[in-house]
């Protein structure tokens, strides 16, 4: 319980050498009982947040399962171990590109709570994390629906609780990637998505999401300050997973003009961390950022590399964004067309607009939005 609490607590005070001690304990575990499985889940989550090798993270998580599923006594409605461990398990899969396993667990949680008639915090968290999984997969419309339902249930439970932050943070993140910036800002204002942050960690990192929101609405200095606060908080906790805590790529883009040297250092470190973590999503996102900081053929080559990695990723929005950016840099009608199709399938209205504008700039025939996908202003 001590290791679990320290794993979810957002404060800076943790036991000395916590990760090292947890790793040593987990190394003795084969998943023979639920105590061992709990330690394996905690070790996997700790490794995921610290950006250790993703294959090793998945190995820890898999060893905590029984025949590919949750062990008896370690289910979503079982009382002995609590919901936190299972959310750690599913989140570890979600951020290591094992979205099929994450989705299965998130959907199982929702079914379990609906069947049991639980209508409070557990149900709100199930909808929130299901929304997180859908957002990671790039099914943005469905993610938004699930997150709005989570927020509706969370409102009944009470504002300010961690589950409330999970719903709000993920909804704003989803609205931003959909291109609905004004709506994201209105949501942040309505639900108090601003400091002080909760005492437990929220996925994805709320400082990173708020920093990106501030940049999107034109409050550049405030956005940079928020992303620098995210950098400090992540360093204090050792949270180096570049997908879970994505402040670096947004900060690098924001500083590209005023401080290009620092921006280049940030993106170089982001690429190093991404390669250490090793997922297609992490590496592809770092390459997307690197391409945005370059010009000419070097930018084109980096954008093409980003497409190659993200095409293998289960995160379809990021793949769509990389396709569009590569199409813009290479002035390729075919790449822009592929990016446009992907963006539409994701429900990424802002990306659809960007691709269409680029196609018009190249003199390509205008491709209208399919019915029901007009961008909201």
pLDDT surpasses 90 at 38: yes
Q: How confident is the model at residue 11 (pLDDT cuts 50, 70, 90)?
A: low
The model carries a pTM of 0.94
In percent, how much of the chain has pLDDT > 90? Answer: 86
State both tokens at 295.
């010009």
Give the lowest-confidence range in 190-204, 206-220, 309-323, 356-370: 356-370
Helices then strands, each counted (H, E), the chain: 19, 0
For 100-130, the pLDDT digits (tens) are: 999 999 999 999 999 999 989 999 999 999 9
pLDDT surpasses 90 at 134: yes
Instruction: Please tell me the distance from the alpha carbon of residue 163 to that of residue 150, in angstroms, as a whole number.
Output: 9
Is residue 57 within 8 Å of residue 40, measured between CB atoms?
no
Please give the mean pLDDT across all residues of the chain. 93
For 300-333, the pLDDT digits (tens) are: 999 999 999 999 999 999 999 999 999 999 999 9
What is the predicted pLDDT for the residue at 12?
55
Helix (H, G, I), strand (E, B) or coil at 100: helix
Q: How many residues are given for the chain?
A: 377
Select from 298, 296, 208 the least CA-distant residue to 253: 208
What is the predicted pLDDT for the residue at 376?
37
- Give every CB contact of residue 305 below 8 A, 6+ residues apart in sequence: 287
For 40-87, the pLDDT digits (tens) are: 999 999 999 999 999 999 999 999 999 999 999 999 999 899 899 999
Helix (H, G, I), strand (E, B) or coil at 69: strand
Give the lowest-confidence range in 157-166, 189-198, 253-262, 338-347: 157-166
For 242-260, the pLDDT digits (tens) are: 999 999 999 999 999 999 9
pLDDT, average across residues 284-289: 98
pLDDT surpasses 80 at 14: no
pLDDT surpasses 80 at 372: no
Q: How confident is the model at residue 371 (pLDDT cuts 50, 70, 90)?
A: very low
Helix (H, G, I), strand (E, B) or coil at 81: coil
CB atoms within 10 A of CB 231: 18
For 187-201, the pLDDT digits (tens) are: 999 999 999 999 888
DSSP characters for 229-261? HHHHHHHHHT---TTTSTHHHHHHHHHTTT-HH
pLDDT surpasses 90 at 163: no
What is the predicted pLDDT for the residue at 366?
62
Residue with tokens 């289910």: 75
Is residue 220 within 8 Å of residue 254, measured between CB atoms?
yes
- Tell me which DSSP letter residue 202 carries: -
């Amino acid at each position: 319980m001590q290791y679990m609490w320290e794993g979810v607590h957002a404060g800076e005070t943790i036991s000395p050498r916590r990760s090292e001690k947890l790793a040593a304990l987990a190394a003795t575990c084969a998943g023979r009982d639920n105590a061992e499985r709990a330690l394996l889940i905690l070790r996997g989550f700790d490794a995921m947040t610290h950006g250790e090798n993703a294959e090793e993270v998945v190995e820890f998580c898999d060893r905590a399962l029984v025949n590919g599923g949750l062990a008896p006594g370690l289910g979503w409605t079982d009382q002995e171990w609590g919901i936190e461990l299972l959310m750690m398990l599913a989140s570890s899969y979600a951020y290591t590109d094992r979205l099929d396993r994450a989705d299965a667990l998130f959907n199982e949680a929702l079914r379990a709570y609906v069947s049991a008639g639980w209508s409070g915090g557990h149900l709100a968290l199930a909808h929130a994390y299901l929304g997180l999984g859908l957002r990671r997969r790039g099914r943005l419309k469905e993610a938004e629906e699930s997150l709005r339902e989570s927020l509706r249930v969370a409102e009944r439970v009470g504002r300010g609780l961690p589950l409330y932050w999970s719903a709000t943070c993920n909804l704003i993140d989803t609205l931003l990637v959909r291109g609905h910036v004004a709506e994201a800002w209105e949501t942040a204002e309505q639900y108090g998505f601003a400091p002080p942050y909760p005492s437990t960690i929220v996925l994805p990192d709320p400082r990173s999401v708020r920093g990106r929101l501030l940049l999107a609405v034109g409050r550049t200095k405030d956005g940079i300050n928020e992303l620098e606060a995210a950098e400090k908080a992540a360093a204090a906790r050792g949270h180096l997973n570049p997908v879970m805590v994505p402040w670096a790529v947004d900060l690098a883009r924001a500083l590209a003009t005023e401080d290009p040297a620092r921006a280049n250092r940030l993106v170089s470190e982001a690429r190093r961390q991404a390669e250490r973590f090793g997922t297609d999503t992490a590496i592809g996102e770092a390459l997307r950022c690197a391409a945005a900081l370059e010009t000419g053929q070097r930018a084109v080559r980096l954008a093409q590399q980003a497409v190659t990695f993200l095409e293998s990723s289960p995160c379809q929005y990021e793949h769509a964004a990389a396709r569009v950016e590569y199409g813009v840099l290479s002035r390729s009608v075919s790449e822009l067309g592929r990016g446009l199709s992907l963006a539409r399938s994701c429900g990424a209205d802002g990306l659809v607009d960007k691709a269409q504008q680029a196609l018009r700039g190249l003199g390509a025939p205008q491709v209208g939005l399919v019915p029901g996908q007009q961008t909201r202003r």
